[in-house]
Every structure is written in structure tokens, then in C-alpha cells.
Amino acid sequence: MLCLRLAESMLQGMFNALKVFHGAFCNALLPNHKPFLSGNYAEPARSSNAKGALRETDGTRFVTETNVIIGGGVAGATAALALSRAGRPVDLYERSSSASHKICGEFLSREVSANMRSLGVDPARLGARPINRVRLVHGNRSVDEPLPFPALALSRKVLDEALLEHARACGVNVIRGKAARRIEQLDDGSLEVSFGSDGSTKARTVFLATGKHDLRGVKRAATGPQRGYVALKMYYRFNKKKTEYLRWVTELIFLKECYLGLMLVEDDQVNFCFVISEARFAEAGGTWDGVLQQFSRESAYVAAYLAGAEPLLDRPIAISSIPYGFVHSPSDSDPLGLWRLGDQIAVIPSFTGDGMGIATCSAVLAAKMFLEGATSREFHHHFSGVVRRQMRVSKPLNGMLFRHTISQNAIIWLASLFPTSVRTIARLTRVPEKAMCGLD
């Protein structure tokens, strides 16, 4: 019975992936007859960006023409740069007061790097390491394949800080150390962002780019996505031999209800980041040391990596309740003038390494549509179509990676039998190239 269920879920996953592959193939043959930035949007434009009307100042509350961005990660900083480049005044609020680490595998796809460069921040100059291969490992089997595109690896601490610094240099008003608590639409149509005891601000347009953190009043819907995962991360220094073994490669190791990513970032630090089911994390005592001990018992390969590895952070960083597969569905109850970006609009499974692709694409696209007079609802509606294909492919695969050792084995087996499937999956789980508009 169990075997039947396993086979059924694996077949379902493969069937979905094939359906999308078929869809992508057909789309490639069809003429693209609906340019997404035509300016012809279905809904009547509310012209949230039109010049005019703003007056009121009362203590900490004020109404302003300035565009407000909440969150200074990849999505927020990219949107800030895109808007300021178009001459718009921007206030960006970032809760951290200085550069900090983030949970992320730190794989920058070609499109993300290109977008960063067009914004004026070159990851290679910041010390990013080049990546051109992917290695999948399960038990004593592995598959090592070239990526279909060149990629880079750079820590988010360095990247995000460089983006914010550059935004500041380009005239964005970057306000650090201020965390938004709540967003509310007022009767006059404006949005009030409350910073708790730090006051509040009002604006007609707010770009919400707080990543995994939901704000009261504008929480992401809880239905649909796959939840129940925890992610943890540490940087290590490996010896020369192991460091060289990782050069040029992004490595994904499949363990029980877990996948672990390893990659070299700047200064040859090893990004060691994994996603694990909450159940397995609890089984390991809910601690970093407990999990690593279990990994070492389960896999001699991981044990060999960890032997003699020097941790580079005082303690690991962690997040929980990642809503994999979440895509914001626009509805009439959405506050007008609130534009969701990055993880606030869609959360792709981590194994794809394309969260930053979604973050930059959503930010650039939102800025463009906003400047063209579209509404936030039109943007949300359009963007849910942009990410549909990559979600359809990555969600069932994500389920297979976590659910059973058998399905992990099957993935390695299929990848070694059909090596091009690795490249196909890598391509299909990326934001489609035609949507990945850079800045002019």
C-alpha cells in the first residue's frame, strides 16, 4: 500500500513537471501576442502615481508624494533604484540598522547578476565566486552537470548592503533601524504605515518588500502553500582540498526530509544552508548540534565535510514556516496602492535558487508598471502569470525532495540517466527570460 502511494505521488510529480515542460514547449512555438508592458491594462487605472494633491502634516503623521518602500532586501532596494532612476522621490525603511546575514543559499542566477549590474552594482566586483556546475548527491550516488547558464555566489550581507549603499548614493532616502508594524488603508485612500512607538507615515503608494515577515493588516494568505519547513545556515572555512572540490559548483545533498546546499561565496567561505521538515528538526532535539550529529550519522559524505570545518559565525541563523509555493492572488480586498514585491508576492522552493530572481523581476516590473500608470492589482494579476510555470514545476519536485528517500533516489537516478533533465529543470524553475526585464 505504502509503495503504491509512493509510486503514485512520484508519478504525479513527474506528470506535473512534464505537463509544464509540454506547456513551455508549446508557448515557445506560439507568437507572444500580449506584450506585458503595453500600458493597456484591463482595470481602470487608479493613477496612484499621478502628481497632485498632498498636504497634511501633523507630528509624526504626514502625507507625501514620496513613494514608500518597506524592506531593504533585494526586492526593496531594486525597486528603490528603479524608481529613483525615473526621478521619483523614495523613502525606504529597513528594520536592520547595519549589514546583517540572511537565510539564503546565495546563488545568483545570470538574470539576477545582469539586473544588479544594470542597477549599478556588480556582484563580481564585490568578490562573488563564479558557479557553472550543479552537483546532486544522495547516499553514495551523485550527478554532476553543467548549468545551462553561468551563475555567481555572493553573501547577502555584502550584496544587500551594497545595494542599499548604492540606493542612498542615487538619492534614495534610506531609513535604517525602523521596523514597520502595520499597514492600514485610510478613508481618504492613502496607506498608513505604523512603526509602533517610532511613529507612522502616510503615502498613496507603498511597496511591501519585507520578505518572509508579514505585517499586520496586510498578511499574506495562509492557504495553498507547502508549510512545515525550517531553514538554517552557517558559514564554514573548509580545508584547501574540500574548498577546491566545491569551486565552480553549487552542491545539493538530499537527506531524510531535508536538502542541504553548499557553495563557496566571497573569500572562499562555505555557505552551508539547509531546509528540513519541522518534524525531523524536532526529532533531532530542535538544535543545530543535534541536527548535525544526525546528518553525520546518516551520511559519511556530510560527516567528511564537517570534520575539521571551522564555523565562521557565533551561531547559526534560522527561519521557520516558509510558505513554499505561495503566490499572492489579487482580490478586491487588497488595499489599493499596496504593491507586493519579492517573497511578499511569491515564494519559490529554495532548491531552485531563484528567490532573488523573483525579487528583482517583481521589483523592476512593479516599478515599470507603476510608472506607466497601472494599478497594484493589475501588477499582482500580471505577476501571478509570470511565475506560474516555475511554481508548477518546482512545487511537486519540492514535495518529492522532502517526502521519501525513494523519490530522492528516483531524482538522482533519472538525472544520471537523462543528464539534460537537470539543465531543463534548472531552466524551467527560473523566472522566464522574457519577463526578466532589466533597467534601460
Stretch touching ligand FAD by CB under 6 A, among 128-136, 203-211, 301-309, 380-388? 203-211
**Per the structure block, which three cell numbers stand in for 284?**
533531532
Name the grid cell of 106.
Answer: 546565495
3-state secondary structure of 126: helix
Residue 355 touches ligand FAD, criterion: CB under 6 A: yes
Give min distance, CB of 114 to ligand FAD, in A.
13
Contact between residue 261 and residue 136 where contact means Cβ atoms under 8 Å apart? no
For 261, which DSSP code?
A: E
DSSP-derived secondary structure letter, 226: B
Rounded Cα distance, 170 and 272, in Å: 34
Minimum CB separation from ligand FAD for residue 22, in Å? 26
10 vs 397, which CB is nearer to ligand FAD?
Answer: 397
Nearer to ligand FAD, 91 or 343 (CB): 343
Which range binds ligand FAD by CB under 6 A, 26-34, 48-56, 100-108, 122-130?
Answer: 100-108
Alpha-carbon torsion angle 146, 151, 154, 159, nearest 10: -160
Least distance in Å: CB of 231 to ligand FAD? 4
Q: How far apart are CA 21 and CA 389, in angstroms?
A: 9
Rule CB under 6 A: say whether 54 interacts with ligand FAD. no
Complex with ligand FAD: residue 10 or 151, whichever CB lies closer: 151
Separation CA 420–CA 414 (nearest Å): 10
383 binds ligand FAD (CB under 6 A): no
Question: Which lies closer to ligand FAD via its Cβ, residue 319 or residue 371?
Answer: 319
Taking the C-alpha atoms of residue 98 and residue 177, their distance in angstroms, rounded to an integer, is: 8
Is 74 within 8 Å of 109 (Cβ atoms)? no
Q: And the C-alpha cell for 59?
A: 507630528
- 356 near ligand FAD, judged by CB under 6 A: yes
Compute the distance between CA of residue 322 and CA of residue 345 in angstroms, rounded to an integer. Answer: 13
Smallest gap, in angstroms, from Cβ of residue 108 to ligand FAD?
A: 7
Residue 103, exposed/middle/buried by CB under 10 A (0-12, 13-18, 19+)?
A: buried
Looking at 91, 257, 354, 378, which residue binds ligand FAD (CB under 6 A)?
Answer: 354
Beta carbon nearer to ligand FAD, 71 or 123 = 71
Please identify, among the stretches 133-141, 238-246, 348-356, 378-386, the one whose residues bind ligand FAD according to the rule CB under 6 A.
348-356
Question: Binding of ligand FAD at residue 225 (CB under 6 A)?
Answer: no
User: Among residues 203, 231, 264, 387, which is the contact residue for ligand FAD, using CB under 6 A?
Assistant: 231
111 binds ligand FAD (CB under 6 A): no
Site for ligand FAD in 261-280 (CB under 6 A): 273, 275
Region binding ligand FAD by CB under 6 A among candidate stretches 74-82, 310-318, 389-397, 408-416:
74-82
When binding is defined by CB under 6 A, the residue of 70, 152, 265, 425 that contacts ligand FAD is: 70
Give the side-chain half-sphere CA count within 13 A for 265: 26
163 contacts 81 by C-beta, under 8 angstroms: yes
Closest residue by Cα to residue 139 from 405, 324, 351: 405
Q: For binding to ligand FAD (CB under 6 A), which residues are involved?
A: 70-76, 93-96, 102-107, 179-180, 209-213, 215, 231, 273, 275, 322, 342-343, 350, 353-357, 359
